[in-house]
Amino acid sequence: DFVAKRVVQEQVIILHAGHGAEALDFAFVENPDLIILDIQMPGMDGLEVLARLKENEKTAKIPVLMLSSMDDPENIKKSIELGAAVFLVKANETPASIVEKIRITLAKSGESHSAHK
């Protein structure tokens, strides 16, 4: 996978879903710290998964990083409107830059959680 090798070096646990419904199942059961979604996924696309994550109380606060080869402005706009923390275009990123954006997103998420306590 594009990022998996680099992320594994960061000593994190990765759960990989093969399709949108599986991604939702993982999110609801595992309650991850961060979710990385592609727009193009079998069955249910990443935008639909994002919408369902953000409308569910249990998963609404999990930061979602959209990572896609599709740089269509409408997909980017819709992702942000639906609640994605970041939208990254694969062609513009390296594994190292993605890991850095994951760190930044998690740090911001941690700050917002502590601010609401």
> What pTM, to 2 d.p., does this model score?
0.82
For the chain, residues with pLDDT lower than 70 are: 1-13, 111-117
Q: What percent of the chain has pLDDT over 70?
A: 83
CB-based contact 66:77 (threshold 8 Å): no
